[in-house]
Amino acid sequence: MTCMKSDFIRRTMGYHHLAIGLFLLQIFYNNLCNCQIPQSFDDTETLPSPRAYTPDVGLLDFVYHNHDEMTRFLRTTSARYPNLTALYSIGKSIQGRDLWVIVVSSSPYEHMVGKPDVKYIANIHGNEAVGKELMLHLVQYFVTSYNTDPYIKWLLDNTRIHILPSLNPDGYAVSKEGTCDGGQGRYNARGFDLNRNFPDYFKQNTKREQPETDAVKEWISKIQFVLSGSLHGGALVASYPYDNTPNSRICRSSALCKMFQSYSSQPSLTPDDDVFKHLSLTYANNHAKMSRGVACKSATPSFENGITNGAAWYPLTGGMQDYNYVWYGCMEVTLEVSCCKFPPAHELRKYWEDNQLSLVKFLAEAHRGVQGFVMDSNGLPIERASLKIKGRDVGFQSTKYGEFWRILLPGIYKLEVFADGYAPREVDFMVIEQHPTLLNVTLQASKRNDGPYNNYRPVSAAQQQHYRPQPDRDQGILSSLSSGFNSLVSNIFG
């Protein structure tokens, strides 16, 4: 009897273990059949190809996203947050890839009168890939923090933020993860460096215009951007205008510039040098490492406080930041965010942690200085009025709503305002640290035969914005040697 009872118990326990095994197998099968596609992709899409490591579960993984994956993330985000985002394309690359821009704001589909538009552009060099991923994570951070972070809510309620994650998707497509140096993927599909393809203030740029840069030029001609950041890789520094100088040597590539960086690199300072240094320091000081000014490699320069004047680092012709500033009064800073141009994907989380606060605080600087409206005597806005701060001969214009903005540090200034058909006006004002100065300017219509304003015709913005610095004519033989060397370098490396 005892043997029969023991045998019964063994059989019962065996069935019990079998039942548990079948139950666990069923749970595994159900989970397998109901697996969740990462939310950064549409439900109708197939899973992405295997990554180099296991990605995090969440809205956006810390991995590199190709153009199709980036497009799906931007479309999904725009659909999921229609009250905070709007997606549009400013054009197409050589190979037909859309140049996507996503607006993040509490008013994404229309301009908020009296509130500035700002922008970030990344991946202008296709093999400098960290900036593109930072932009995607910045978008996610904004939309997921709006209802929980008062500072982010204030920023999105008072600013329209335009983010272009990849200006050079064709170059990115042929770049290789893990490649820290070199030029593969740097250029667009026609072999042009897009950051040498803009009109230049100091020298005529003879490079053939490219569709990617044409798209940017048309874009910023339609939207009065106040502040901009251009994200690059290969160094750790915030670089501010001017990038070029009247005495600059020809610099066809960053590698060439580094070869000769000790040769007569001098700062080329704008009339707003104090503001540009402040903007650069805002980014560097909020970055985890940049402000230390540590060189990426022993053979490369270090940067005091993590900032540099562009021309002092190495001069270049046709840069985007000079074009933004000279042609449209938009203050753009070049942000070099990684020593390695295309580091392994497992390092992306750290890059995001290093740059997150800087990316937010930099944009908030658009709310520093002076802002207001230019109106006629009937209170109607005057569009395209030409403005400049006296002593700072770089102009800017009013929008179709008569709005204007200018980033300035605390001090006393004089605003000069001109508009066709109106008497010019000068207005004194003060800027303080705590908040922007609100300044509305009313212009009176000029009479055809009314004294000194009879023949007044304001010149176009491009004409009136600048004095043109001239090369020093008294350098004698050194000047001649410099010109000869520039010609030689141009012929050899051009």
The question of whether 336 is a catalytic residue gets the answer yes
Are 374 and 404 in contact by the 8 Å Cβ rule? The answer is yes
C-alpha to C-alpha distance for 60 and 253, rounded to whole angstroms:
34
Instruction: Give the DSSP per-residue string, 444-459.
Output: PBPPTTSGGGTT--PP
- 3 state SS for 290-358: HHHCCCCCCCCCCCHHHEEEHHHHCCCCCCHHHHHHHHHCCEEEEEEEECCCCCCHHHHHHHHHHHHHH
Are 276 and 239 in contact by the 8 Å Cβ rule? The answer is no
Question: What contacts 196, CB < 8 A, 6 or more positions away?
Answer: 205, 207, 252, 316, 317, 318, 319
From the DSSP assignment, how many helices (H) and strands (E) are in the chain?
13, 16
C-alpha to C-alpha distance for 161 and 363, rounded to whole angstroms:
8
Q: Choose among 215, 212, 197, 273: nearest CA to 469.
A: 273
C-alpha to C-alpha distance for 408 and 25, rounded to whole angstroms:
67
C-alpha to C-alpha distance for 387 and 461, rounded to whole angstroms:
9
**Residue type for position 83:** N
Cα-based torsion angle of the residue sequence 311, 316, 318, 321 in order, rounded to the nearest 10 degrees:
-40
Residue in this structure with the two tokens 């593969």, named with its chain if needed? 184
C-alpha to C-alpha distance for 484 and 65, rounded to whole angstroms:
46
Q: Choose among 227, 343, 232, 331: nearest CA to 290.
A: 232
| H/E run at residue 238 | strand 235-240
Are 262 and 271 in contact by the 8 Å Cβ rule? The answer is no
C-alpha to C-alpha distance for 455 and 451, rounded to whole angstroms:
9
Query: Catalytic one among 128, 212, 336, 403?
Result: 336
Q: Choose among 138, 314, 176: nearest CA to 235.
A: 314
Cα-based torsion angle of the residue sequence 220, 224, 229, 232 in order, rounded to the nearest 10 degrees:
0
Phi (first) and psi of residue 441, to 5 degrees: -120, 125
C-alpha torsion sign, points 136, 140, 141, 146: positive
Are 385 and 419 in contact by the 8 Å Cβ rule? The answer is yes
* Beta bridge partner(s), residue 103: 86, 162
- Active-site positions read 336
